[in-house]
């Protein structure tokens, strides 16, 4: 999950609350989504604080530091929760400038430790906790109805991989501290987290690393991969020149092997073309009347011009108007009562259309669960409205993160774009279109390649297209959260991918 689909009213409310937090910085007019005065910087908003009484060094089994990263430390404990037979760790990455990222790690269940790669998982939002992905999509356990407990889940992605769930950006889930409202900064923190993680657990360091995410993860994943790749290049060249300091020698080249994005928002200019098509003329029955879709589509030319300006300038001033204008395309869909994450079903419950989201909130707000995991904060929210609003004001939403992908492909890092074919908000049409339009050395070859059936247990699970190190996968019968709707097929997907086996 999840491109956090706020109604415009909720969005306005969240922006208004940010405005109240720092009235000197801007004046916001909620009903128009208009912003007057100057745009805020990324440091606006107040920090989220730990809960008095929960902070305690004695709850950690290990506090890890590295001379090469003097401003960071990792606090670690070994919880017994979720899949109790699986080795697991949880804790915080702390930075000197008051950032505290929560993580939860699970060792691979069904292969020897040394053979398993690491998968890093990030949910979207912006502002949603990766623990929603853990407890309803691909973790080794799934929350039970009512949220009092969680049960073993056979299709967890830690079947053949070690999986790390990280709560980022800051102030999402159990993470807290200073606010960070752009994907690039968030990517750099994840790089430091991984250095410390491998330093603490060298037993996981010698295999491959796959960075995966969903929805707004279409921003985080390329940003994180770029941060890792560039830091690796710098490290390697210093190593070759023999100019690494004693402290720097503690760092390592992070074994970034691939990235994966599920139902992501990555290239908005291309993707915003397909809202009308997905609502009225997809492979599923239409959700809206044709004239509503026509009206949605009629906004695209203006929307496209605004996004082009954002791509060109890449600052809040250019990007914010695109967000405000283009997201009005979503109003009709929202009013229809259909689920924006799945055209096949209605939006149910008060919590992002999936009642299970409320169960996750209940589970992670249980003091016993928080104690077992070592949370420093007593309130868990599956999606933070404040972080969402901050990213919106920062203009991050419409920025061209697909441009980070070609350098990765050229460096031999494999790239998987996959999409459940019933999702509306980050639909497969848009994801396939940007995959085909991507400017890289294999563009022509990828366009010329035919789609082929991806078969799981004798049944077509989707349609795949691969060329060299780039794959697009359309997943049949899945909404926005592929592993939630198609757990078996999603497990086949990740297992094939990490084994570098073809989809067809
Ligand atoms: C956990 O391990 C025990 C002992 O090895 C075994 O009996 C049990 O079936 C396992 N439980 C699960 C859910 O795998
Ligand atoms: C629906 O899609 C098909 C094929 O993609 C296209 O030929 C047709 O014109 C579309 N219908 C409308 C009303 O847009
Ligand atoms: C992936 O990229 C690497 C490095 O460019 C290359 O050696 C390899 O052949 C590529 N894989 C495929 C399947 O083309």
**HEC assignment per residue over 446-500:** HHHCCCEEEEECCEEEEEEEEECCEEEEEECCCCCCHHHHCHHHHHHHHHHHHCC
Q: What is the whole-number distance in angstroms between the Cα of residue 140 and the centre of ligand 1?
A: 13
The dihedral of CA 252, 256, 262, 265: what is its sign?
positive
Length of the chain: 504
* Tokens coding 386: 């404040």
Tell me, yes or no, whether 91 lies in a domain: yes
- Give, using CA atoms, the residue closest to atom 4 of ligand 1: 85
Is the preceding peptide bond at 169 cis, omega within 30 degrees of 0? yes
Among 273, 280, 281, 294, which is best to mutate for testing ligand 2, by the most ligand atoms less than 8 A from CB? 281
Residue 14: the pLDDT is 52
Q: What is the whole-number distance in angstroms between the Cα of residue 271 and the centre of ligand 3?
A: 28
Among 416, 469, 497, 499, which is best to mutate for testing ligand 3, by the most ligand atoms less than 8 A from CB? 469
The dihedral of CA 215, 220, 223, 224: what is its sign?
negative
Tell me, yes or no, whether 442 lies in a domain: yes
Tell me, yes or no, whether 1 lies in a domain: no
Distances (CA, A) of 220 to 3, 125, 182, 287, 412: 12, 10, 9, 30, 20
**For every one of its 504 residues, what pLDDT tens digit does the chain have, with 9 covering 90 and above?**
445 445 444 555 455 454 444 332 222 222 222 222 223 333 344 567 888 778 888 899 999 999 988 888 999 999 999 987 899 999 999 988 888 999 999 999 999 999 999 999 999 888 888 999 999 999 999 999 999 999 999 999 999 999 999 987 777 889 888 777 766 777 778 898 999 999 999 999 889 999 999 999 999 999 999 999 999 999 999 999 999 999 999 999 999 999 999 999 999 999 999 999 999 999 999 999 999 999 999 999 999 999 999 999 999 999 999 999 999 999 999 899 999 999 999 998 877 889 999 999 999 999 999 999 999 999 998 888 887 888 888 888 999 999 999 999 999 999 999 999 999 999 999 999 999 999 999 999 999 999 999 999 999 999 999 999 999 999 999 999 999 999 999 999 999 999 999 999
Q: For residue 117, give the 3-state DSSP assignment.
A: coil
Dihedral (C-alpha) 463, 469, 470, 472: value to the nearest 10 degrees? Answer: 20
281 Cβ below 6 A of ligand 2: yes
Residue 3: the pLDDT is 58
Residues belonging to the active site: 215, 423, 480
| All residues at 6 or more sequence positions from 20 whose CB lies less than 8 Å from its CB, including other chains | none
Distances (CA, A) of 205 to 72, 185, 195, 197, 444: 19, 24, 9, 9, 36
Which residue range is the domain that position 39 belongs to?
A: 8-498
Q: Do residues 489 and 503 make contact, with C-beta atoms less than 8 angstroms apart? A: no
User: Rounded to whole angstroms, how far apart are CA atoms 276 and 332?
Assistant: 10
Counting atoms of ligand 3 from 1, which one is nearest the CA of 466? 13
Tell me, yes or no, whether 154 lies in a domain: yes
- Give, using CA atoms, the residue closest to atom 3 of ligand 3: 412
Tell me, yes or no, whether 374 lies in a domain: yes
Tell me, yes or no, whether 184 lies in a domain: yes
| All residues at 6 or more sequence positions from 239 whose CB lies less than 8 Å from its CB, including other chains | none
Q: What is the whole-number distance in angstroms between the Cα of residue 85 and the centre of ligand 1?
A: 6
- Parallel, antiparallel or unpaired: strands 162-167 and 459-467: unpaired
Q: For residue 59, give the 3-state DSSP assignment.
A: helix
Residue 447: the pLDDT is 98
Nearest to 400 by CA among 441, 439, 456: 439
Q: Is 154 exposed, middle or buried (0-12, 13-18, 19+ CB in 10 A)?
A: exposed
- Give, using CA atoms, the residue closest to atom 7 of ligand 1: 85
Q: What is the whole-number distance in angstroms between the Cα of residue 462 and the centre of ligand 2?
A: 21
The total of other beta-carbon atoms located within 10 Å of residue 324's CB is 18
CATH number assigned to the domain comprising residue 465: 3.40.50.1820
Helices (H), 274-348: 275-280, 290-298, 300-313, 316-326, 331-335
Q: What is the whole-number distance in angstroms between the Cα of residue 144 and the centre of ligand 2?
A: 42
- The whole-model pTM stands at 0.91
- Give, using CA atoms, the residue closest to atom 8 of ligand 1: 85
412 Cβ below 6 A of ligand 3: yes
The total of other beta-carbon atoms located within 10 Å of residue 447's CB is 13
Q: CA angle at residue 213 from 76 to 458, to 5 degrees? A: 115
Among 406, 408, 468, 503, which is best to mutate for testing ligand 3, by the most ligand atoms less than 8 A from CB? 468
Q: For residue 376, give the 3-state DSSP assignment.
A: coil
Tell me, yes or no, whether 462 lies in a domain: yes
Tell me, yes or no, whether 504 lies in a domain: no
- Three-state secondary structure string covering 134-198: HHHHHCCEEECCCCCCEEECCCCHHHCCEEEEEECCCCCCCCEECCCCCHHHHHHHHHHHHHHHH
Total structural domains within the chain: 1
Dihedral (C-alpha) 404, 174, 262, 121: value to the nearest 10 degrees? Answer: 70
User: Rounded to whole angstroms, how far apart are CA atoms 434 and 419?
Assistant: 12
Q: Do residues 498 and 160 make contact, with C-beta atoms less than 8 angstroms apart? A: yes
To which residue do tokens 């283009």 refer? Answer: 326
- Parallel, antiparallel or unpaired: strands 88-95 and 414-420: unpaired
């Amino acid at each position: 999950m999840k491109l956090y689909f706020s109604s415009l009213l909720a969005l306005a409310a969240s922006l208004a609350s940010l405005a109240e937090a720092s009235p000197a910085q801007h004046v916001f007019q909620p009903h128009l989504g208009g912003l007057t005065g100057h745009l805020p910087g990324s440091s606006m908003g107040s920090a989220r604080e730990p809960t008095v009484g929960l902070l305690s060094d004695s709850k950690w089994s290990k506090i890890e530091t590295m001379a090469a990263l003097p401003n960071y430390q990792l606090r670690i404990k070994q919880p017994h929760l979720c899949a109790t037979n699986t080795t697991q760790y949880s804790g915080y990455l702390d930075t000197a400038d008051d950032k505290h990222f929560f993580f939860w790690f699970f060792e691979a269940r069904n292969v020897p430790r040394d053979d398993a790669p690491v998968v890093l998982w990030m949910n979207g939002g912006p502002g949603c906790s990766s623990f929603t992905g853990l407890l309803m999509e691909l973790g080794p356990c799934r929350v039970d109805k009512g949220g009092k407990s969680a049960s073993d889940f056979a299709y967890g992605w830690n079947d053949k991989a070690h999986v790390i769930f990280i709560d980022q950006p800051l102030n999402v889930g159990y993470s807290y501290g200073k606010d960070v409202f752009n994907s690039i900064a968030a990517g750099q923190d994840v790089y430091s987290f991984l250095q410390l993680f491998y330093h603490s657990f060298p037993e996981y360091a010698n295999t491959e690393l796959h960075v995966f995410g969903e929805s707004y993860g279409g921003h985080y994943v390329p940003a994180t991969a770029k941060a890792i790749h560039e830091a690796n290049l710098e490290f390697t060249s210093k190593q070759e020149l023999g100019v690494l300091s004693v402290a720097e020698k503690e760092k390592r080249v992070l074994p970034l092997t691939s990235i994966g994005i599920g139902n992501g928002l990555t290239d908005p200019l291309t993707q915003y073309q397909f809202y009308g098509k997905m609502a009225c003329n997809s492979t599923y029955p239409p959700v809206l009347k044709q004239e509503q879709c026509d009206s949605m589509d009629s906004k695209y030319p203006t929307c496209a011009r605004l996004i082009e300006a954002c791509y060109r300038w890449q600052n809040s001033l250019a990007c914010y108007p695109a967000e405000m204008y283009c997201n009005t395309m979503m109003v009709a869909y929202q009013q229809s009562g259909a689920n924006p994450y799945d055209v096949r079903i209605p939006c149910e419950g008060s919590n992002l259309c999936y009642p299970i989201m409320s169960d996750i909130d209940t589970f992670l707000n249980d003091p016993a669960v928080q104690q077992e995991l070592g949370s420093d904060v007593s309130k868990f929210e599956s999606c933070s409205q404040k972080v969402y609003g901050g990213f919106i004001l920062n203009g991050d939403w419409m920025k061209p993160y697909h441009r980070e992908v070609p350098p990765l492909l050229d460096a031999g890092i494999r790239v998987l774009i996959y999409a459940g074919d019933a999702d509306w908000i980050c639909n497969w049409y848009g994801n396939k279109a940007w995959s085909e339009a991507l400017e890289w050395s294999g563009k022509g070859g990828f366009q010329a390649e035919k789609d082929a059936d991806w078969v799981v247990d004798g049944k077509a699970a989707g349609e795949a297209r691969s060329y060299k190190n780039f794959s697009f996968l359309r997943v049949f019968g899945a909404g926005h959260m592929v592993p939630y709707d198609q757990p078996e097929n999603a497990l086949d997907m990740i297992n094939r991918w990490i084994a570098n086996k073809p989809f067809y």
